[in-house]
Structure 1
Amino acid sequence: MRKIHVVTQKEAVDEQKLAGCTAVVIDVFLATSTIAFLLTNNYEPIYTVKDSEHALALASWLEEPYILLGETRGKCIEGFQYPDPCLIKFVQEKKAAIICSTNGTRAIESAKKAKILYISSLVNGHKVAEHISMQTDDSSIVLICAGNDDRFSMEDFVGAGQIIDRLLKGEEYALSDAAKLARDTYLSSSAISFRNLLDCETASLLRSFEFENSMDLVIEHHEKVEVVPIFKGNKVVQELLPTGERST
């Protein structure tokens, strides 16, 4: 029976233990939600880096068209578009994206040694769970909550619970204590349409920077974004189905 573990913040990740695991990084407000919206709006590949210095270094040699998105501790970075999903518009011609953030992209950085690495949020967690359920191996599943600058984040824990709840609808898994609690937390939050997430610590921070609409957008798009972001070759792309078709 496959095991499901939940790491409640990126700082607790043991990179060496991820080597044979399927990992999922979750940063609901906002980085992994933004990544899902970027993919569905024809931005691909997506390069995730830990800070603006690395983003600018990557941009200096990238030859393909791109957009540059980033924030630090919730604040805008000069020369970068804020990684707000409300600001992402569909582009006719595919374009790359470079994104850095205080928590989400750093969490991805910490999880790169995983056997398989998915990116998830409340908007697309159902699709990520679907793809995990199609795996034929017995690797442990590690759900990594990005957290909030070395602190626990309720919204990421709820996002982890979403994946667990979806997986359990198909078969049995061995859950860690944190995984059991994450699922219960997701079900409780879902029952009240995730209104409690608007009172979480990250929500207060985003509200102070006038990004409340971003949180509303994420909640309104619960399980409505049909993409499966996967980290391959040092970039995030859409996962391919076994037939070779894109996830839709």
Structure 2
Amino acid sequence: MRKIHVITQKELVDSHLICGCTAVVIDVFLATSTITALIESQYTEVFAVKDASIALDQANTLQTPCLLMGESNGKSIDQFIYPDPTLIEHPVGKQSAVICSTNGTVAIQKAQFAKRLYASSLVNGDRVSEDIVLKGDDSSVVLICSGNAGRFSIEDFVGAGQLIDHLLTQGTFTLSDAATSARESYQQARAKHFINLLTTETADLLSQTGYEHTIHWVLSNIENLKAVPIYQHGRFVAAQ
């Protein structure tokens, strides 16, 4: 029987241990919501990289038009659009995107050698869970909460719980203690219409930097997006 594990922050990820696992990175209030919105908006591929320097190098190697999105410690970066999903427009023709962030894309880099890797958020967790079951094998499922610069983030933990809640309606899994707790946190947040996520540490940081609308966009689009970003050959594409 497949087991579901939850890693509560990216700093606890052991890249070697998850090589044979199905991994999902969750960064609800920024990176994975933005990656999902990019795929939903029909960007053909999204490169999620560690920092601005690598992002610029990646952009320079692409042969197609490229959208650069990124932040560092919550602050804007010169030449980059802030990774705010509300700023994304449908591209004209085929277009790539490159994104870097303090937490989510770093977590993705640590998980990149998993057997299968998804980007998930509250906006698409139901769809990601469906694809995990559809492409089912005997691998363990490892849900990676990106966290906030080495600290626990409740919204990512709730995002992990959302996936677990949906997975259990579609298949048979055993849960780690952290997975059980994450599911309970999701169910409690859902019962309160997720208003508790408006006062998290990350929400406060985004509000201070002028991106409070991003929080409201995520919470008003819970399970509204259909895109399932899956990591293939170094970038995210739409799962088929």
TM-score (norm. length: structure 1) = 0.95
Equivalent residue number for residue 28 of structure 1: 28
The C-alpha deviation readout for 1:108-150, integer Å capped at 9, x for no partner, is: 0000110000110000000000011123311000000000001
Report the CA distance between 1:172 and its aligned residue.
Answer: 2.3
Report the CA distance between 1:90 and its aligned residue.
Answer: 1.7
Is 1:69 the counterpart of 2:69? The answer is: yes
Q: Give the letter aligned to residue 67 of structure 1.
A: L
SS at match of 1:57: helix
Report the CA distance between 1:20 and its aligned residue.
Answer: 0.7
Aligned residues of 1:42 and 1:92 also touching (Cα < 8 A): no
Query: What stretches of structure 2 of length at least 5 have no aligned partner?
Result: none
Equivalent residue number for residue 243 of structure 1: none
The C-alpha deviation readout for 1:152-181, integer Å capped at 9, x for no partner, is: 000000000000000111232110000000
SS at match of 2:90: coil
Equivalent residue number for residue 126 of structure 1: 126
SS at match of 2:230: strand
Distance 2:59 2:90 in 1: 21
The C-alpha deviation readout for 1:75-119, integer Å capped at 9, x for no partner, is: 000110000011111224121000000000000000011000011
Report the CA distance between 1:21 and its aligned residue.
Answer: 0.3
| Greater mean deviation of Cα atoms: 38-47 or 117-126 | 38-47
Report the CA distance between 1:189 and its aligned residue.
Answer: 0.4
Aligned residues of 2:21 and 2:114 also touching (Cα < 8 A): yes
Distance 1:70 1:183 in 2: 30
Aligned residues of 2:103 and 2:146 also touching (Cα < 8 A): yes
Equivalent residue number for residue 53 of structure 1: 53
SS at match of 1:123: coil
SS at match of 2:167: helix
Equivalent residue number for residue 94 of structure 1: 94
Q: Give the letter aligned to residue 10 of structure 1.
A: K
Distance 1:212 1:88 in 2: 16
Equivalent residue number for residue 140 of structure 1: 140
Distance 2:221 2:92 in 1: 22
The C-alpha deviation readout for 1:160-219, integer Å capped at 9, x for no partner, is: 000000011123211000000000000100111111001000000000001010010001
Q: Where does structure 1 differ by over 3 angstroms across 4 or more consecutive aligned residues?
A: none
Aligned residues of 1:75 and 1:209 also touching (Cα < 8 A): yes
Equivalent residue number for residue 204 of structure 1: 204
Equivalent residue number for residue 112 of structure 2: 112
Query: What stretches of structure 1 of length at least 5 have no aligned partner?
Result: 241-248
Matched residues, number: 240
Q: Give the letter aligned to residue 132 of structure 2.
A: I
Identity of aligned residues (%): 52
Equivalent residue number for residue 165 of structure 2: 165
SS at match of 1:149: coil
Aligned residues of 1:42 and 1:93 also touching (Cα < 8 A): no
